[in-house]
Amino acid sequence: MSFQGDSIFWVELDKIVPNPYQPRREFDEAKLKELAESIRMYGVLQPLTVTRRERSRDDGTFFTEYELIAGERRLRASKIASLSQVPVIIRSGEQTEQEKLELAIIENLQREDLNSVDRAIAFQQLAQIFNLTHAQIAAKMGRSREYVSNTLRLLALPEYMLSSLQKGEMTEGHARALLMLADRPEEQDVLFREILLKKISVRESERISRKIATDRVRKKEWKGSDPTLIEIERKLTETLGTRVQIKKTDFGGTVSIDYFDPADLDKILDMIEKRERAAGPTSQIPVPVSDEVSLANEAISETLHEEAAEANEVLAKLAENTPLEAADSSMVSSDNLPAIDNLVVPPALDTLVIPPALDNRDELPTLPEKDESDMYSVGKFTI
């Protein structure tokens, strides 16, 4: 393949057709208008590169068509400037589709006109359509194999991130930092939004990505045994809009919430306060106790009820039809009656039986003595 001499030809704009393998996808309209204004004033300073083809019409006649290889921005700007002809250099020889794509990529690379995404798509076309290896693409482009491989990796980002990269909203360095979080889409999205909104640097983006990657290695030690914490961490990340890290320890754990500036911190605190107010006053929740404490409480309660039942049984005997009427009234005097104020009352007041009035009784039946070694003091009552 060679140039048709070193001559420059003037060709009508309507005879030039775009290259179907044009790697450049995005064209800044404002910059195209600036270029068009420059072309109106000074003309097209650098000729377009085309290849000439003979085409046939339906009536059997032939016409010449020029397929663009390089210079689409100049072609579009020339149309905006309403030019009728543009200077071109014609490449001779039969070009294959692969050669046309290679020429278009090389021309744009030399001019540094391609953004990272367009360059990656062009490399992908060479690899998939023409079955070229990364090393072969690198050799044709005059770049290293690592350069080609790293460029192709950019296409692993979600479409909306690639769109931001094409528009220049973030740099290729930011994109590479995001690629480190390819298997953590929630945290990748959080970092992406911080890049756009907070304008954090490439170095800071890489630092955050490396920290998350390190934490991911740590979590592999307990992720399988406690997947609930992973799900909670994911939900907190989505709710708060920032990275949340839960660290499990032998005695509980910690929850770490990332923020990038004081405004972020205020926003997080405001969200937590709103959710707390929306929840309303919290109801009392029983505090769980261990099985040992629960069993001990049950044993104490059972013992207290048994003691109260025995006391009630003894007191109930006082109310039975005992032969008190036959007792000698001389045996009973007011001095022998116990003071009611000093009466010992068991806690089971709802079942307590109070003996009838003891007026004109000679003698109270003697209560059996009870071993007081097992008595408990509960509140104001003695059992």
Q: Is the pLDDT of residue 341 over 60?
A: no
- What is the C-alpha separation between 132 and 163, in angstroms, rounded? 26
Residue 164 has pLDDT above 90, yes or no: yes
State the pLDDT at residue 377: 41
Q: Are 151 and 143 in contact (CB under 8 A)?
A: no
State the pLDDT at residue 1: 40
Cβ 148 vs Cβ 123: under 8 Å = yes
- Residue 9 has which token pair? 């030809």
CATH architecture of 2-114: Alpha-Beta Complex (3.90)
What is the residue extent of each domain of the chain? Answer: 2-114, 176-279, 292-318+332-356+375-383
Helical H segments across 184-290, by residue range: 185-198, 202-219, 227-240, 262-279
Tell me what pLDDT residue 368 has.
56
pLDDT surpassing 70 at residue 69 = yes
pLDDT at 296 over 60: no
For range 336-353, the mean pLDDT: 50
Is there a contact between 21 and 97 (Cβ–Cβ < 8 Å)? Answer: yes
User: Percentage of the chain with pLDDT > 70?
Assistant: 62
pLDDT at 129: 82
Question: Is the confidence at residue 281, as pLDDT, over 70?
Answer: no
Mean pLDDT over all residues of the chain?
74
298 is catalytic: no
Please name the residues in contact with 17: beta carbons below 8 A apart, sequence gap of 6 or more: 65, 66, 67, 68
Max mean pLDDT among 43-57, 160-174, 289-303, 353-367 falls in 160-174
Residue 275 has pLDDT above 60, yes or no: yes
| Contact indicator for 100, 69 with CB cutoff of 8 Å | yes
Task: Tell me the range of 144-158, 338-352, 367-381 where mean pLDDT is highest.
Answer: 144-158
Average confidence (pLDDT) over 171-175: 94
Q: Give yes or no for a contact between 344 and 315, defined as CB atoms under 8 angstroms apart.
A: no
SS3 92: strand
Residue with the two structure tokens 């540094």: 112
**Which of 72, 187, 233, 307 is flagged as catalytic?**
72
Per-residue pLDDT at 179: 93
49 vs 65: CA distance, rounded Å: 13
The contacts of residue 95 (CB under 8 Å, 6+ apart) are: 1, 51, 69, 103
Residue 383 pLDDT grade (very low, low, confident, very high; cuts 50, 70, 90): very low
The residue count of the chain comes to 383
How many angstroms separate the CA atoms of 105 and 76, rounded? 18
For residue 382, list its beta bridge partners: 377
Number of C-beta neighbours around residue 165 at 10 A? 21
Tokens at residue 188, please?
């990748």
Q: Is the pLDDT of residue 216 over 80?
A: no
Is the per-residue pLDDT at 222 higher than 80? Answer: no
Average confidence (pLDDT) over 298-326? 61
- Tell me the mean pLDDT in the region 149-163: 93
CA 55-61-66 angle, 5° bins = 25
pLDDT at 232 over 50: yes
